Structure 1
């Protein structure tokens, strides 16, 4: 076929839908992106309109984490891009696949500084800092190749956001029809057999092995569970890897590597296998004292070769896909070993005593109630007190059911919109947003999105009258409190104004009643009075 039958914008939508299986788009229409919306109503694609481009990015992030598929955003020139940059930064830090399609000013005006609408000097260069790559489309004929490149990053390399900007004069430009064909089949890199054999030999000889499993492993939970069991080795699973080993696995130390009992196991380990994890601060050193130390032989497996030599001293590195590596490594251990791993984990858990630790004990009934009433729920969190506790306390039955913004970039405002994205990706599962009275104000407007789209998320709002985490830091370092004891609105009235059902609770029994009667046709905001909850727990 050689006839001209579509526009650049139309070809983009068609390729996303037909070649890459995209079914959902997040975006706010603007004068520069009108052409992207021509025919969209008839395309069969679902379009969700957030109330802020940052919300669009967070929704795409939550959609991607819950589904494993890239979240896709349509964003306007200039302010739309600076608004979504924070969400892209979070996705970049956590290796989350996100495709951001934006407009940019006409080709003949780029770089001239003429004061055009939405003009941003160097938009592509700015967005490159929060993307795996940023590309300016200059010829519509190259669009299929550029999209292939983006999805190659998502499916074959370390994922993250990709930005493609299209000048507004190219969006309506006619293009020749592209013959239908499937997306390229990509198989991720397998580990070098010699290196894998060496790693297996070290693990077989080890007396006190330890596994550190990160979010890169979430595509291979069966292999991860089998390998941990056959090695009889304690395993720490990061926040983004929660559920990888299933719920309450006897060898799972959880995301507790910043606590003394697990750090002791790490120091004592003679061989450590770290797979698909950055070994970064927000997973291994959340007390920020640089106290997580590995003295044994460190074996690392990562799709990113640079990551292999960051943060800890490496003995053996394998550049490979985490999941495929776990499957192949498993073949080296046809029979289970016996090295007392479960006993070591049991002793560490007893020493941790999380349920009675004053830092976590008040939150135990909250997560017990969630587990009893909504055992299959996806928990999506902001940076807030319930999340900080949940990172240590929560155990999930499957991966992709617990994630939050306390890792990596550590932004606020993530929890609500990301929960909406997760609910769209997995409508068969309950979704709970864990937010605080401070963080929710960053993206509170997305309550309107939830109501409009009828998304049945439960929003657990921990109300502790301000920025509690920063208050504690100020108090600890002898800094007089400024800017942390902030005024809060009446969230019950606010929710009502949005058309969102809401209730206020201060004890586990009231929370259980709210969860048991949650609506299935829209959101529910459950405001938890933190002071009242603490009194109920103390009494």
Structure 2
């Protein structure tokens, strides 16, 4: 067995990998020997950044790591942006790359695809970056990667294999069985103190982040027993179910929720960074907690970032919620539903002029595709959806407006989500500016026969930056960009496409969508807004 063959067997037989994203190159061709007929599906993006975003979407939709095979040098710098987004949002991603021969590393000889130190270049974008020293070290390296994915704070892991090792002989492990790994549970005494504070609170508040997506039942039951208004961040949408009476949504940056947070006497924050893109999207540092803050997180360092904590517990979000719930066998009554309803009534999101064009858009999507998975770029409909959309289950809404905030994410990530969840409809929410970063991935969707809907909001440029320039007295430069004929481009890729300008025409388009390939629906933003007036 060669090192390359051992890699494929470990991924498939030990860790259950069924899909790999990558673009073959002369440095990685040996990774492809034996892939045919192996039961592992290979998906070829049109750019390595697309591979990373597809792996990200696959991981967010399933909870399982997305896996990429990436070429030395430019392939790795191309995927770096996608790794940055995954790192910021704690998304499990395994990037397997080639690197030049061991005897040439660091010598600056101008070898094909050579970087001064590829491992160091990627180290800052991964939980760890490792150069494989010998074939028999591969099982341990992969075990470390999956230990990060399964029992620590997840994120990208990079393992590079020198090209002279691919065909080197390797020894199969004694067993293909993976180790049984469990995540940390919080300290019992600390948990008891947290329970006491929450028991004595008169105005409790709960903040649930993306770390809670695998424990929706425990999260929902706990907040109901605490009778506490609850912020569910963008990555935690659906954790409490649709329109739950204690769910404030991802509205922590809006005044009514900020006031409620400021007045809370005890705050429980679970699996959330308390970061800017969830709690301060108006960027004024106005989200203030004055009560006792209890934080639970897998990452000890995260316990002390962004807000002053009085009690920090290291532990898995799901297990911690279950253990904490044991302290509250009976529901408490503290007016939580009333406080939540008052805050939401004050927000009046559905009648907010800023969101007016998007209320009927998401109502139409909900009516025609009730089980939809929404995958978004950084674009106007996504910013609105962060506040407006409520979903019945977690892992059905994610986008690139959080954390790293990259453009070009929505389309390829939607492909990854559709591959992971073929039984559900997937809609990519993209804008005419951001989609140009990864538009070529329509070809991948056509090639793979993926029935995603690409909902393209065309507002003729970078609208968010235009508005920001206007508000700050900066002359508009570089934001009124030339757009292509998207329908002609989509058709050229073999993708069906149409243009709509009203909820009625959008509903008709969605109802007639193909089920054997992608469908681009271009929404004329100006016409849409005019027809709603």
Which shows bigger deviation, 430-439 or 176-185? 176-185
Q: Name the structure 1 match of 2:259.
A: 264
* Counterpart secondary structure, 1:164: strand
Q: Name the structure 2 match of 1:466.
A: 461
Matched, 1:369 2:364: yes
Matched, 1:422 2:417: yes
Runs of 4+ in 1 over 4 A off after TM superposition: none
Matched, 1:71 2:80: no
Write out per-residue CA displacement over residues 418-472 of structure 1, whole angstroms, 9 at most, x where no aligned residue: 0000000000000000000000000000000000000000000000000000000
Write out per-residue CA displacement over residues 246-274 of structure 1, whole angstroms, 9 at most, x where no aligned residue: 00000000000000000000000000000
Q: Name the structure 2 match of 1:500.
A: 495
Write out per-residue CA displacement over residues 295-319 of structure 1, whole angstroms, 9 at most, x where no aligned residue: 0000000000000000000010000
Runs of at least 5 residues in structure 1 that lack an aligned partner in the other structure = 1-5
* Counterpart secondary structure, 1:445: helix
* Counterpart secondary structure, 1:317: strand
Q: Name the structure 2 match of 1:291.
A: 286
User: Which of 213, 219, 227 is the aligned partner of 1:224?
Assistant: 219
Retained in 1: the 8 A contact 2:132–2:161? yes
Q: How does 1:44-63 map to 2 (within 5 A)?
A: 44-63=39-58
Deviation at 1:177, TM superposition (A): 2.7
User: Which of 205, 208, 211 is the aligned partner of 2:203?
Assistant: 208
Matched, 1:301 2:292: no
Q: Name the structure 1 match of 2:519.
A: 524
Q: Name the structure 2 match of 1:407.
A: 402
Q: Distance in 2 between matches of 1:219 and 1:176?
A: 36
Q: Distance in 1 between matches of 2:329 and 2:124?
A: 45
Q: Distance in 1 between matches of 2:524 and 2:443?
A: 23
Matched, 1:193 2:188: yes
Q: Name the structure 2 match of 1:477.
A: 472
* Counterpart secondary structure, 2:196: helix
Q: Distance in 2 between matches of 1:328 and 1:137?
A: 40
Superposition TM-score, scaled by structure 1 size:
0.99
Q: Distance in 2 between matches of 1:175 and 1:415?
A: 39
Write out per-residue CA displacement over residues 104-141 of structure 1, whole angstroms, 9 at most, x where no aligned residue: 00001000100000001110001001000000001100
Matched, 1:451 2:456: no
Retained in 1: the 8 A contact 2:10–2:176? no
Retained in 1: the 8 A contact 2:453–2:521? yes
Write out per-residue CA displacement over residues 328-382 of structure 1, whole angstroms, 9 at most, x where no aligned residue: 0001000000001000011111100001101111100000001111111100000
Q: Distance in 1 between matches of 2:531 and 2:339?
A: 35
Retained in 1: the 8 A contact 2:92–2:155? yes
Q: Name the structure 2 match of 1:239.
A: 234
Q: Name the structure 2 match of 1:145.
A: 140
Q: Distance in 1 between matches of 2:78 and 2:201?
A: 50
Deviation at 1:42, TM superposition (A): 2.1
* Counterpart secondary structure, 2:69: strand
Retained in 1: the 8 A contact 2:54–2:413? yes
Runs of at least 5 residues in structure 2 that lack an aligned partner in the other structure = none
Q: Name the structure 2 match of 1:39.
A: 34
Q: Name the structure 2 match of 1:347.
A: 342
Q: Distance in 2 between matches of 1:216 and 1:44?
A: 31
Superposition TM-score, scaled by structure 2 size:
1.00
Matched, 1:99 2:57: no
Deviation at 1:172, TM superposition (A): 1.0
Write out per-residue CA displacement over residues 151-194 of structure 1, whole angstroms, 9 at most, x where no aligned residue: 00000000000000000000111112323331111110011000
Q: Name the structure 2 match of 1:23.
A: 18
Matched, 1:88 2:88: no
Deviation at 1:44, TM superposition (A): 1.1
User: Which of 340, 351, 354 is the aligned partner of 1:356?
Assistant: 351
* Counterpart secondary structure, 1:166: strand
Q: Distance in 2 between matches of 1:231 and 1:405?
A: 32
Q: Distance in 2 between matches of 1:162 and 1:524?
A: 33
Q: Name the structure 2 match of 1:3.
A: none
Retained in 1: the 8 A contact 2:94–2:156? yes
Q: How does 1:127-146 map to 2 (within 5 A)?
A: 127-146=122-141
Q: Distance in 2 between matches of 1:115 and 1:91?
A: 31
User: Which of 503, 509, 524 is the aligned partner of 1:514?
Assistant: 509
Q: Name the structure 1 match of 2:434.
A: 439
